[in-house]
């Protein structure tokens, strides 16, 4: 069993970073990711030095279980956790998903606040303690590393919380977590709860004390930092602050606050901050959730100095208005512009400066797409490259590829489109299929034609088109979200022609759906019933 317990005070405390982008983050509406996307995010988290990656909630769906299992097979550097309610079936599913991991952790939870116990669980406090202990013991028989969370801890009676923690640590929990589940706490209050738990849990020294904050009042990061200062050992967070409702504490803000204000916070962590920008862009790309421009650390404007006074100050001495450098999060200071005369070397170098690490085949495909774009567009900047990287080099297998489309549309005629797709055929012969459909405008007509070909049975939940950069020759990036049987599938497409971008995004979402169905088909039937 591995426990990381830090001493309070001084500069030597190392905080364990527990990332739950793939579990709590994925629970946010419209943030679902497919298996290949989750694996890509997990690999990035591992490479950044994140200590614990919560890879999912195995019992939630066969797709979740399959994704955790795949991440467990590939990711070696970080501890891998799966969430489980305090019931045997959940813990069995979590263990089933994690058993191949080098460093597995079962994360089990039960609510401890009066309102949750009475109305949600319909259990008496004594029954909650008994269940928590029983399930921690049950989990420990399978896995040496067990974390216990007291859901809604911030609205629980502190004395009862200490009683539960004492009992579960005695039963073998090596981490105890005190979530502010509904984002209700304030920094002073939450810090006081950390101190109360430390003081009132006699065996707390045998476990790490974790905090997990939601952002309903916009206080998640402030609460997490206050908790760290008060003696928390582990902080649970997500990239871009994704998560239920208003989200979770943002990893990038916590890491950079500890780095920038170590003088007052007195703690640090092992995350390589120079990978933050690339990780943030990746999560935004795979979830289809854009980062607001003024978002701290990773927003488009976070390092932009617009006003003359600020620009003058920064030119004289960057520290006048810059409390951290763009390079410290992996954002190149100079926005380099490439064009059709740029060679492979400059292209490869810029990709790597932007934090992309693709294999040779993917990089070659991307270079071809870059050349094609540079023929249409005078200059190709970093945002163009990021968009291309997402579109031209997807991680997952592509069941369907767009070969061509033709549209006939105008203000006085019904839009008609003919779309031709090529199917990889999953082991069988590739085939070309063409379909014609009408619609309410050219995009609708194209989507209808694709539906006729693939017969997905999905509904279009969301569709948007934005321009990647300014200018008449800008690329349009389209995002599509399809829904089927309660699951959402995101698609992304980019082109200087917005109809083409839309069609590519729609086909991409279909491919996400096919890939997930395929990954679930790979799970033995016995596991699927878990």
Name the residues that contact Zn ion, by CB under 5 A. Answer: 24
Give the nearer residue to Zn ion in terms of CB position, either 177 or 275.
Answer: 177
Contacts of 299 (CB under 8 A, 6+ apart): 291, 292, 293
Q: How far apart are CA 93 and CA 110, in angstroms?
A: 17
Q: How far apart are CA 382 and CA 338, in angstroms?
A: 9
**What is the full DSSP assignment across 447-502?**
HHHHHHHH----EEEEEEEEESSSSTTPPEEEEEEEEETTEEEEEEEEESSHHHHH
Contact window for ligand KIV (CB under 6 A) among 42-50, 113-121, 177-185, 366-374: 177-185
Query: Does residue 90 interact with ligand KIV by CB under 6 A?
Result: no
Q: Binds 109, which of ligand KIV, Zn ion, none (CB < 5 to 8 A, cut-off by type)?
A: ligand KIV
Q: Which of residues 497-516 bind ligand KIV (CB under 6 A)?
A: none
**Sole binder of ligand KIV in the list 105, 116, 140, 212 (CB under 6 A):** 212
Size of the site for ligand KIV (CB under 6 A): 9
Give the nearer residue to Zn ion in terms of CB position, either 24 or 508.
Answer: 24
Give the nearer residue to ligand KIV in terms of CB position, either 176 or 374.
Answer: 176
Contact window for ligand KIV (CB under 6 A) among 176-184, 192-200, 256-264, 361-369: 176-184
Q: How far apart are CA 416 and CA 502, in angstroms?
A: 15
Q: Pull the structure tokens for residue 64.
A: 């979740």
Query: Does residue 179 interact with ligand KIV by CB under 6 A?
Result: yes
Continuous segment of H or E residues that includes residue 197: helix 187-200
Report the nearest approach of Zn ion to the CB of residue 35 (Å). Answer: 22
Tokens 């999060």 label which residue? Answer: 329
Q: Which of residues 362-401 bind ligand KIV (CB under 6 A)?
A: none
Listed as own residue / partner, the contacts of 443-446 with beta carbons closer than 8 Å and 24 or more positions apart are 443/499, 443/502, 443/503, 444/415, 445/407, 445/409, 445/415, 445/416, 445/417, 446/405, 446/407, 446/417, 446/419, 446/499, 446/502, 446/503, 446/506
413-423 vs 400-410, strand pairing mode: antiparallel
Q: Pull the structure tokens for residue 125.
A: 């406090």
Q: How far apart are CA 433 and CA 51, in angstroms?
A: 47
Interface pattern 24-43 for ligand KIV (x via CB under 6 A): x-------------------
Report the nearest approach of Zn ion to the CB of residue 179 (Å). Answer: 6
Length of the chain as a residue count: 530
The strand pairing partners of 415, in sequence order, are: 439
Give the nearer residue to ligand KIV in terms of CB position, either 149 or 156.
Answer: 149
Continuous segment of H or E residues that includes residue 65: helix 62-74
Query: Does residue 57 interact with ligand KIV by CB under 6 A?
Result: no
Query: Does residue 149 interact with ligand KIV by CB under 6 A?
Result: yes
Give the nearer residue to ligand KIV in terms of CB position, either 27 or 328.
Answer: 27
Give the nearer residue to Zn ion in terms of CB position, either 175 or 273.
Answer: 175
Report the nearest approach of ligand KIV to the CB of residue 418 (Å). Answer: 48
Q: Binds 303, which of ligand KIV, Zn ion, none (CB < 5 to 8 A, cut-off by type)?
A: none
Tell me 209's DSSP state: E
Query: Does residue 166 interact with ligand KIV by CB under 6 A?
Result: no
Query: Does residue 475 interact with ligand KIV by CB under 6 A?
Result: no
- Count the alpha carbons within 13 Å of 16 in the hemisphere toward its beta carbon: 27
Q: How far apart are CA 273 and CA 252, in angstroms?
A: 8
- Count the alpha carbons within 13 Å of 308 in the hemisphere toward its beta carbon: 0
Give the nearer residue to Zn ion in terms of CB position, either 214 or 383.
Answer: 214
Give the nearer residue to ligand KIV in terms of CB position, either 112 or 166.
Answer: 112
Report the nearest approach of ligand KIV to the CB of residue 51 (Å). Answer: 16
Interface pattern 102-141 for ligand KIV (x via CB under 6 A): -------x--------------------------------
Q: Binds 295, which of Zn ion, ligand KIV, none (CB < 5 to 8 A, cut-off by type)?
A: none
Neighbour order of strands in the sheet with 431-439: 400-410, 413-423, 431-439
Report the nearest approach of ligand KIV to the CB of residue 152 (Å). Answer: 6
**C-alpha distances out from residue 253 to 49, 261, 289, 296, 456, Å:** 16, 11, 18, 7, 40
Contact window for ligand KIV (CB under 6 A) among 41-49, 175-183, 408-416, 463-471: 175-183
Query: Does residue 151 interact with ligand KIV by CB under 6 A?
Result: yes
Report the nearest approach of ligand KIV to the CB of residue 282 (Å). Answer: 22
Contact window for ligand KIV (CB under 6 A) among 174-182, 200-208, 360-368, 519-527: 174-182
**Sole binder of ligand KIV in the list 67, 181, 238, 409 (CB under 6 A):** 181
Q: Binds 149, which of Zn ion, ligand KIV, none (CB < 5 to 8 A, cut-off by type)?
A: ligand KIV
Query: Is 491:505 a contact under the CB 8 Å cutoff?
Result: yes
Q: How far apart are CA 388 and CA 187, in angstroms?
A: 42
| Residue showing the smallest CB distance to Zn ion in the complex | 24
Give the nearer residue to ligand KIV in terms of CB position, either 109 or 277.
Answer: 109
Q: How far apart are CA 251 and CA 226, in angstroms?
A: 15
Residue ranges that bind ligand KIV, judged by CB under 6 A: 24, 109, 149, 151, 177, 179, 181, 212, 214
């Amino acid at each position: 069993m591995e426990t990381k317990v830090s001493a309070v005070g001084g500069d030597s405390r190392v905080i364990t970073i527990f990332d739950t982008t793939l579990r709590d983050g994925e629970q946010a509406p419209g943030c679902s990711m497919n298996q290949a996307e989750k694996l890509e995010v997990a690999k990035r988290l591992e490479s950044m030095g994140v200590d614990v990656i919560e890879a999912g909630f195995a019992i939630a769906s066969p797709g979740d279980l399959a994704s955790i299992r795949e991440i467990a097979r590939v990711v070696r550097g970080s501890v891998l956790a799966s969430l489980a309610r305090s019931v045997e079936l959940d813990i069995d599913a979590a263990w089933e998903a994690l058993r191949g991991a080098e460093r597995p952790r079962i994360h089990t939870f039960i609510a401890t606040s009066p309102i949750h116990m009475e109305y949600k669980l319909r259990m008496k406090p004594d029954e909650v303690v008994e269940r928590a202990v029983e399930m921690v013991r049950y989990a420990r028989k399978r896995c040496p590393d067990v974390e216990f969370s007291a859901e809604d801890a911030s609205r629980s009676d502190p004395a009862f919380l200490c009683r539960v923690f004492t009992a579960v640590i005695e039963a073998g929990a090596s981490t105890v977590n005190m979530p502010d589940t509904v984002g209700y706490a304030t920094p002073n209050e939450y810090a006081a709860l950390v101190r109360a738990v430390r003081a009132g849990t006699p065996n707390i020294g045998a476990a790490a004390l974790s905090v997990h904050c939601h952002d309903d009042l916009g206080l998640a990061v402030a609460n997490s930092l206050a908790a760290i200062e008060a003696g928390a050992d582990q902080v649970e967070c997500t990239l871009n602050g994704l998560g239920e409702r208003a989200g979770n504490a943002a990893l990038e803000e916590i890491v950079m606050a500890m780095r920038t204000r170590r003088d007052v916070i007195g703690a640090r962590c092992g995350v390589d901050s120079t990978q933050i920008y690339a990780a943030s862009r990746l999560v935004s790309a795979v979830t289809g959730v854009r980062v607001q421009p003024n978002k701290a650390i990773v927003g488009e404007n976070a390092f932009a100095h617009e006003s003359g006074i600020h620009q003058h100050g920064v030119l004289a001495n960057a520290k006048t208005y810059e409390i951290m450098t763009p390079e410290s999060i992996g954002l190149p200071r100079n926005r380099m512009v490439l064009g059709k005369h740029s060679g492979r070397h400059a292209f490869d170098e810029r990709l790597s400066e932007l934090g992309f690490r693709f294999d040779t085949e993917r990089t070659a495909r991307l270079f071809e797409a870059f050349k094609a774009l540079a023929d249409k567009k005078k200059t190709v900047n970093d945002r163009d490259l990021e968009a291309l990287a997402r579109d031209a080099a997807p991680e997952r297998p592509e069941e369907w590829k767009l070969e061509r489309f033709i549209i006939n549309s105008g203000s006085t005629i019904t839009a008609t489109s003919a779309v031709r797709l090529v199917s990889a055929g999953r082991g069988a012969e590739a085939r070309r299929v063409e379909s014609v459909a009408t619609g309410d405008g050219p995009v609708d007509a194209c989507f209808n034609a694709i539906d006729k070909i693939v017969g997905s049975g999905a509904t279009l939940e969301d569709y948007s088109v934005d321009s990647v950069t300014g200018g008449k020759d800008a690329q349009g990036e389209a995002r599509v979200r399809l829904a089927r049987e309660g699951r959402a599938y995101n698609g992304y497409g980019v082109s200087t022609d917005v109809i083409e971008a839309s069609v590519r995004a729609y086909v991409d979402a279909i491919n996400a759906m096919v890939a997930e169905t395929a990954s679930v088909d790979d799970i033995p039937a016995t596991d699927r019933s878990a």
